[in-house]
Amino acid sequence: MCGIVAYIGNKEAYPILIKGLQRLEYRGYDSAGVALLNGDITVYKKQGKVQDLLDFSQDLPKEGTIGIGHTRWATHGVPNDVNAHPHSSGNSRLTLVHNGIIENYSPLKTALEKEGHTFSTDTDTEVLVHLIEEIQDRHKLSLEEAVRIALTRVVGAYAIVVIDREDKNKLVAARKGSPLVIGVGEGEFFMASDATPIIEHTKKVVYLNDEEIAVVTRDGDLEVKTIANEVQSPFIQELDMKIEMLEKGGYDYFMLKEIHEQPKTISDAMRGRLNATNCWIKLGGLDEMAERIMAAQRFIIAACGTSWHSGLIAEYLFEDLARIPVEVEYASEFRYRNPIITPEDVVIAISQSGETADTLAALELAKDKGALLYGIVNSVGSSIARITDAGSYIHAGPEIGVASTKAFTGQVTLLTMLALSIAHKKGTITDTYFRQLVIELANIPSKVSQVLESDEQIKYIAGEIKDRTNALYLGRGYNFPVALEGALKLKEISYIHAEGYPAAEMKHGPIALIDEEMPVIVIATNKSAYEKIVSNIQEVKARKGFVIAVVTEGDVEISKIADHTIEIPDTEEPLTPLLSVIPLQLLSYHIAVMRGCNVDQPRNLAKSVTVE
Ligand code: G6P
């Protein structure tokens, strides 16, 4: 939610900021702005995409070797030019960009108004920059000291960068709850919400911790202290990311590229961790905490969105294979429910970005109650990766399309390995079955490639249903969460209303919606419930529903009754989601493209949800 970027050095800041904002646009894209310090501070901001800002500022002066930028996902105040960041203090001396929410902005605003401050925007951020100004002015403080004191009065989440017209050699940044990375170059510094704007300039980075303030200067100084004024030694680390990972690589959209990357990303999730020849699985994170994990009374999985769907699949995996009771929780509900958590519980957080505010807060709560925290995360160095006691990265590489695809299959791959490894250690599955599943898991990447070959057929089917206004997705067992994920993909990017349902539950409500206008996508690959799902398809057909069935290769029965069948290769039932989700991703993609939607940046959404 919102991306921020900043630069100080000897180069022109504007192109660096713009490129950085384009990389961060997945975090929000309703308005964008930059501020450049060059004698005075020049602010350009515009409703719309970074491209709109670029067009607007095309013929305007853009000099300055220090600057800050922002791409917004609105929380307080509608998306328009005025509410776009950066925001300036009343005396125009300070300018600031902010990602997060200042929860107590209202009492702060009232108090500042009493001191004579007037506000020109509806944002919480403008209150913060006025507060810093008030403290700086009143006590004649340096920028960093004024920022530090102001932040002791703020409730909420923030990553901020501030510039001061009277101090032309400095950027001051701080974070709490929202991410901030500092790139350390030769005589220059970069700051951004994640490493993607930094990677083409330097691989050396510092991940700022919560409640830390950083001051970087043109002379090459980097100082970090806490908001409580304790000096910290910044830990500089090397990024393991390549610039090609951030490009579309010939595809029309990042989402399509990411769908097609899945044979590789699933392999990457398994690399060095699974050996099919000698039949072993080894997860460093699990080994570190093996004793507590093996003794756990239950697993609680906390996640949001697509990651929550991975969690539902994990529930089937852990219960079915490892015989561990599992609860899967929407992190946002869990954290406010006064949940019962004990030190015997293992709380598993699943998150692509590693920054989702609700998931992070659920972990903090579980930590206070003494549970062991395990993270399944994609984004290296992210907040969730850092707060957990142990964990496993899925190694899918940067996921840029807002709708999650390769992160989902990476998470499911990782969770499958985790369940198998625990099951094997606990002896809840036989050696033979373990061997069978390990060998088959190693075959999944090539089977995903096979599914991707159905792209043209899926595109054709997309054309058949692209103008419908509703869709129903049905699945049973391991494929029920896949039905939810298929429906989510469709609504996220094509704006068609879609619902996922357990196939048998259809009779308790959704069946009333079925007529010839309703496409019903049925994932019908389960061997264990095959006859039952065939009956469910019959029920839909009897009501004239338009059935698209995802079936196992060679299926003859369903192709006789369904309007379309999409075949996927045969596999072990617990591994089916890794294959059955692929046609659903492609179907949503093609429908969205045919409807003229912006696939990578769907309206109102953002990829990294750092607000509650
Ligand atoms: C947003 C994204 C989804 C994602 C969800 C959870 O809603 O648009 O794609 O599944 O957040 O994000 P996380 O980074 O925690 O997996």
Going by alpha carbons, the residue nearest to atom 2 of ligand 1 is 607
Mean pLDDT of 36-53: 94
Going by alpha carbons, the residue nearest to atom 8 of ligand 1 is 607
pLDDT in tens, 435-489: 999 999 999 999 999 999 999 999 999 999 999 999 999 999 999 999 999 999 9
Hey, which of 607, 608, 611 would you mutate to test ligand 1's pocket, going by the most ligand atoms within 8 Å of its Cβ? 607
Q: Is 170 a catalytic residue?
A: no
Question: What whole-number percentage of the chain has pLDDT above 70?
Answer: 100
Give bridge partners of residue 610 from the DSSP assignment.
none
Hey, which of 29, 193, 304 would you mutate to test ligand 1's pocket, going by the most ligand atoms within 8 Å of its Cβ? 304
Is residue 610 within 6 Å of ligand 1 at its C-beta? no
Is residue 352 within 6 Å of ligand 1 at its C-beta? yes
pLDDT at 244 over 90: no
pLDDT at 390 over 90: yes
CA distance linking residue 311 with residue 208, whole number of Å: 29
Is residue 86 within 6 Å of ligand 1 at its C-beta? no
CA distance linking residue 547 with residue 211, whole number of Å: 53
Q: What is the mean pLDDT of the chain?
A: 94
pLDDT for the residue numbered 122: 86
Helix, strand, coil in percent for the chain, rounding step 5: 40, 25, 35
CA distance linking residue 194 with residue 1, whole number of Å: 12
Residue 572 pLDDT level (bands cut at 50, 70, 90): very high
DSSP classification of residue 177: B
pLDDT for the residue numbered 240: 83
Is residue 353 within 6 Å of ligand 1 at its C-beta? yes
On the question of a cis peptide bond just before residue 325, with omega within 30 degrees of 0, the verdict is: no
Residue 183 pLDDT level (bands cut at 50, 70, 90): very high
Is residue 510 within 6 Å of ligand 1 at its C-beta? no
pLDDT for the residue numbered 27: 87
Write out the two tokens for 242. Answer: 């390549």
CA distance linking residue 393 with residue 284, whole number of Å: 10
CA 449 to chain centre: 25
Three-class secondary structure of residue 171 per DSSP: strand
Burial category of 291 from C-beta neighbours within 10 Å (exposed 0-12, middle 13-18, buried 19 and up): exposed
Write out the two tokens for 264. Answer: 């590789």
Cβ-based neighbours of 410, under 8 Å, separated by 6 or more: 265, 266, 268, 269, 378, 394, 395, 396
Is residue 304 within 6 Å of ligand 1 at its C-beta? yes
Give bridge partners of residue 94 from the DSSP assignment.
164
Selected catalytic residue, list 2, 170, 176, 597: 2
Of 423, 348, 355, 359, the closest CA to residue 390 belongs to 348
Residue in the block written with tokens 């590789």: 264
What predicted TM-score, i.e. pTM, was given to this entire model? Answer: 0.86
CA 179 to ligand 1 centroid distance, Å: 15
Write out the two tokens for 544. Answer: 């004239």
CB-based contact 412:450 (threshold 8 Å): no
CA 353 to ligand 1 centroid distance, Å: 7
Q: In degrees rounded to 5, what are phi and psi of residue 47?
A: -65, 145
pLDDT for the residue numbered 198: 96
Is residue 332 within 6 Å of ligand 1 at its C-beta? no
Farthest-apart Cα atoms in the chain, separation:
80
Hey, which of 609, 610, 611, 612 would you mutate to test ligand 1's pocket, going by the most ligand atoms within 8 Å of its Cβ? 609
From residue 356, give the alpha-carbon distance in Å to each of 31, 265, 385: 21, 22, 11
CB-based contact 87:131 (threshold 8 Å): no
Which is the closest atom of ligand 1 to the Cα of 407?
16
Mean pLDDT of 367-392: 95
CB-based contact 599:493 (threshold 8 Å): yes
From residue 607, give the alpha-carbon distance in Å to each of 179, 257, 401, 482, 527: 13, 17, 8, 20, 35
Neighbours of 368 (CB within 10 A): 9
Of 319, 317, 395, 305, the closest CA to residue 349 belongs to 305
Which is the closest atom of ligand 1 to the Cα of 605?
8
Write out the two tokens for 598. Answer: 């912006």
CB-based contact 310:414 (threshold 8 Å): no
Of 45, 133, 110, the closest CA to residue 83 belongs to 45
Question: What whole-number percentage of the chain has pLDDT above 90?
Answer: 87
CB-based contact 309:577 (threshold 8 Å): no
pLDDT in tens, 5-34: 999 999 999 999 999 999 999 888 899 999
Q: Is 607 a catalytic residue?
A: yes
Residue 77 pLDDT level (bands cut at 50, 70, 90): confident
CA distance linking residue 209 with residue 228, whole number of Å: 13
Going by alpha carbons, the residue nearest to atom 4 of ligand 1 is 305
From residue 264, give the alpha-carbon distance in Å to each of 8, 436, 440: 37, 22, 16
Which is the closest atom of ligand 1 to the Cα of 304?
6
CA distance linking residue 484 with residue 475, whole number of Å: 8
Of 163, 171, 96, 175, the closest CA to residue 130 belongs to 96
Is residue 359 within 6 Å of ligand 1 at its C-beta? yes
Is residue 356 within 6 Å of ligand 1 at its C-beta? yes
Write out the two tokens for 120. Answer: 């020109």
CA distance linking residue 387 with residue 21, whole number of Å: 27
From residue 94, give the alpha-carbon distance in Å to each of 20, 87, 332: 22, 8, 35
pLDDT in tens, 506-548: 889 888 899 999 999 999 998 888 999 999 999 999 999 999 9
The full 3-state SS of 586-611, as one line of letters, equals HHHHHHHHHCCCCCCCCCCCCCCCCC
pLDDT for the residue numbered 527: 83
From residue 45, give the alpha-carbon distance in Å to each of 13, 68, 163, 499: 16, 12, 16, 38
Alpha helices for 523-575 (secondary structure H): 530-542, 557-561
CA 537 to ligand 1 centroid distance, Å: 31
Is residue 351 within 6 Å of ligand 1 at its C-beta? yes
